[in-house]
Amino acid sequence: VVNVTNGKLMRLLVDDEPFDVRYGELHHHERELDMRSGLLLRSVRWSSPAGRTINISSVRMVSFTQRSIAAISYEIEPVNDTVRVVVQSELVANEDIPTASKDPRTAAILKSPLECEESTSNGSTLGIMVHHTRSSNLRMASAMDHQIEGPDEMVISSDSYPDVVRTTISARLQPGQRLRIVKLISYGWSSTRSRPALHDQVIAALSAATLTGWDRLLEEQRAYLDN
């Protein structure tokens, strides 16, 4: 099974130190799969090796009502010091996946099974990728866009490569200030439709999800599961 483009990647650096629970000090970590609301929630309080303490919270969902949409809300708040934070939000294809050494399927894993047809960004919050599988020519498109709330002074940029599209958000946060990023991700695939058609499909899905908004996506998810 070939992995689709990974859209859930959110990398965080705090004063140039990457957020990694294996380093620094982990004060609190909780992850919850809420089957009633259809959400995966995570909350963390972490101190970097340099002693900068931050709170991080994230909420992930794969929409049951807008079936091509996944969404993430990601929030960062410093606890006791002003910090410089950088968030890298990515779409990644042909990602290296660690495998168990005793897994008998390991020998069958294909190297870079997706070939890039398009990888573009608009220079700020939007990115698009279209790939196809080498043998079967199944075509898959993915796109992401971001809604960002934070201090007045932020730097937002994006760049694209054949297997990576990245949006980077940089900000300086004081205690009590918060950076919140809502990431919308859309997917589409076809064995017959053209690259422009799939490109337009994922852009349209993003537009519909943007119109719906984060709060209404949550409401639709809960109503679906209630039914």
pLDDT at 136: 87
Overall size of the chain counted in residues? 227
* Cβ(211)–Cβ(145) below 8 Å: no
- Burial pattern 159-198, b for ≥16 Cβ within 10 A else e, equals ebebbbbbbbbbbebeeeeebebbbbbbbbbeeeeeeeeb
Euclidean distance between CA atoms 123 and 135, whole angstroms: 33
Around Cβ 132, how many Cβ atoms within 10 Å? Answer: 21
Tens place of pLDDT for every residue, the chain, 227 residues? 788 899 999 999 999 999 999 999 999 999 999 999 999 999 999 999 999 999 999 999 999 999 999 999 999 999 999 999 999 999 999 987 766 667 666 555 667 889 999 999 988 899 999 999 988 889 999 999 999 999 999 999 999 999 999 999 999 999 999 999 999 999 999 999 999 999 999 999 999 999 999 999 999 999 999 99
